[in-house]
Amino acid sequence: MRSYEAYGFVNTKAMYERALAGHYAVPGYNFNTLEQVQAIVQACIDTCSPVLLQYFVLPEEQLHPALVLGLVRGAAEMAAGRIDVAFHLDHGSSFEQCKACIDGGYSSVMIDGSQLPHADNVAMTREVVSYAHDRGVTVEGELGGIAGRETADGPMEEHYTKPDEVEDFVAATGVDSLAVSVGTVHGASKNLAKPGQTPPPLRLDILEEVKRRLPGLPVVLHGASAIPQEHVRAVNAHGGSLTRAVGIPDDQIRAAIAINVCKVNIHSDTQIAMTGAVRTHLVACPGDFDPRTYLDSARKVLVALYSDKNRRVLGSAGKASTVPP
């Protein structure tokens, strides 16, 4: 048995095949806290949705890898026999990091060499794929830079994925899925246009061209949070200051899914919702000093957010393979 199977995780292969065939996207939800993990699993069980529990590695003193594994193993146990759960490394930065994660029980890893020279991205990604595939772990690569984390200043268009590089990259590396840059942005402010200017719509034509060249390739959207304004208002009405918090409209995400996107990464939405809920609670109950109650209000808001995303935007509700037909 593969090490991740012993923990109850699946890799992304069948998940993505079903999503591509069914024109929906599996959620890639990032977590950093117990409440987020609880809410993700609860919402995905409630909506019968498969899910990738995604972790971007933090320094050990912030969150020890053993604690991360404990959290997600608990999640897999909660979900056992009900929904498929993949445990995914988000934005792996080196072969060594991916190897450690694979050895430690991840069922899927991303290796992000998008900021390296093309040949170096190919070489590092190929090395990770070779190690991962020998152990049944699936790999996400990246071509193009997604603003907010990976790109320096300069016009966003310069960082968009070039479809004519995709075929060679996929053939040379053997990746199972590919993160692309089509105008999404990591973080709470997706509008990189100057104030007063309209942000450009996503470059769906790039997705169309990638699909034309590689129809079966599972494509991944990063930086896809919608930044719901009700949660931004909850933050700002209770002592916070989030300015220029603008997301990607739901209909653009749906249009991307209708072409070839089969995993959508969401983190900022949940960070803002959680912050808004905690701020609202603490202002309403200034004498409350008990994390169990203020974090519980955050957990409830998160369950609603993830469930809504699965049902209304990603179309993943009801698609858990273990659910009887």
- Residue 231 near ligand 13P by CB under 6 A: no
Closest CB to ligand 13P among residues 47, 54: 54
Half-sphere exposure (Cβ direction) of 291: Cα atoms closer than 13 Å: 3
Q: Which residues, other chains included, contact 281 with Cβ-Cβ below 8 Å and sequence gap of 6+?
A: 288, 293, 294, 297, 298
Closest CB to ligand 13P among residues 284, 304: 304
- Residue 319 near ligand 13P by CB under 6 A: no
Per-residue interface string for the shown chain with ligand 13P, residues 65-94, x marking contact by CB under 6 A:
-------------------------xx---
Distance (Å, rounded) from C-alpha 81 to C-alpha 188?
Answer: 35
- From the candidates 84, 90, 112, 269, which is the catalytic residue? 90
Closest CB to ligand 13P among residues 105, 247: 247
Amino acid, res. 99: K
Binding residues for ligand 13P restricted to 104-143, rule: CB under 6 A:
none
Among 11, 12, 30, 32, binds ligand 13P (CB under 6 A): 30
- Helices and strands counted in the chain (H then E): 12, 8
For Cα atoms 101, 132, 66, give the angle at the middle one, nearest 5 degrees: 15
Listed ranges 9-17, 235-243, 253-261, 262-270: which one lies at the site for ligand 13P (CB under 6 A): 262-270
Tell which residue, 56, 63, 55, 65, has the closest CA to residue 86.
Answer: 55
Among 18, 203, 222, 231, binds ligand 13P (CB under 6 A): 222
Asked if residue 100 lies in contact with residue 148, where contact means CB atoms within 8 angstroms, the answer is: no
Interface residue list for ligand 13P (CB under 6 A): 30, 90-91, 186-187, 222-225, 265-269
- Catalytic residue IDs: 90
